[in-house]
Amino acid sequence: MPMIGVLALQGAFIEHVNRLREVGADAVEVRLPADLDGLDGLIIPGGESTTIGRLMDWYELNEPVKQMAADGKPVWGTCAGMILLAREVDQDSRAQHQPLLGLMDITVRRNAFGSQLDSFEADLVMPPISDDPIPTVFIRAPVVSRIGPDVEVLATLSDGKIVAVRQGNLVATAFHPELTGDQRLHRWYMHLVRASAKQPAEAD
């Protein structure tokens, strides 16, 4: 059984823990560097990206997380987690002090759809994950405004905005898959983790 951590400093972490357990993962909450020991993968959840980034720095989590990524362990950032994984953010007055891990060769635009009142749901076509549309929830979500040559686009909105990407063992989604009852993205991510850890697949 893969052991997957969920960064639990702020934001929608318990929902990820629940989804991971539903699909058969051993999910643990991560707050300190020692909590990363023995993990096969890590999810950085949605929340307030500046706050999460500052807390990661405060608790000295940045370098251990970067080392996990360098070791090839799958790291998945959702919403705020996408921002934190990015190499850069589109510059605005609020983004100047945004902490970043800088692990993915992408640029993101924060709050690309407006305030929380502008939250919405969308069914996304994601061929690498499922032949059928996947329900998703966008809450003060970012979008990817630039991708590097090694970045694969996993999903776009109908207007072409990029909302899900992959770069090797790194995955970033602008939406909150943990807030729907659909398990496909968490199941797909668990397959990535198993493949990275060379664990045999189990019957779903």
Q: Would residue 138 count as lying in a domain?
A: yes
Given a contact cutoff of 8 angstroms between Cβ atoms, the answer to whether 142 and 204 are in contact is no
Given a contact cutoff of 8 angstroms between Cβ atoms, the answer to whether 142 and 45 are in contact is no
Chain segment 99-108, per-residue pLDDT in tens? 999 999 999 9
Given a contact cutoff of 8 angstroms between Cβ atoms, the answer to whether 170 and 161 are in contact is no
| Choice among 121, 178, 186, 191 that is catalytic | 178
pLDDT of 177 > 50? The answer is: yes
Q: Which residues pair with 165 in a beta bridge?
A: 153, 172
Catalytic: 97? no
Q: Would residue 203 count as lying in a domain?
A: no
Q: Would residue 145 count as lying in a domain?
A: yes
Chain segment 17-65, per-residue pLDDT in tens? 999 999 999 999 999 999 999 999 999 999 999 999 999 999 999 999 9
What separation in angstroms does the CA of 61 have from each of 16, 25, 44, 52? 19, 22, 12, 11
Q: Would residue 202 count as lying in a domain?
A: no
Q: How many angstroms separate the CA atoms of 143 and 65, rounded?
A: 23
- What pLDDT is recorded for position 56? 97
Q: How many angstroms separate the CA atoms of 147 and 125, rounded?
A: 19
Q: Would residue 204 count as lying in a domain?
A: no
pTM of the model: 0.93
Tell me which residue range forms the domain holding 39: 3-197
| CATH number assigned to the domain comprising residue 14 | 3.40.50.880
| Choice among 29, 48, 63, 176 that is catalytic | 176
Q: Would residue 111 count as lying in a domain?
A: yes
| Choice among 15, 16, 79, 186 that is catalytic | 79
Q: What percent of the chain has pLDDT over 70?
A: 93
Catalytic: 186? no
Closest-CA residue to 151 (of 132, 171, 130, 175): 171
Q: Would residue 99 count as lying in a domain?
A: yes
Catalytic: 176? yes
Counting the structural domains of the chain, the total is 1
- What pLDDT is recorded for position 93? 47
Chain segment 134-164, per-residue pLDDT in tens? 999 999 999 999 999 999 999 999 999 999 9
Q: Would residue 186 count as lying in a domain?
A: yes
CA angle 45, 49, 53 (to 5 degrees): 95
Could you tell me the two tokens for 24?
Answer: 């058969």
Please report which helix (H) or strand (E) contains residue 133, including its range. none
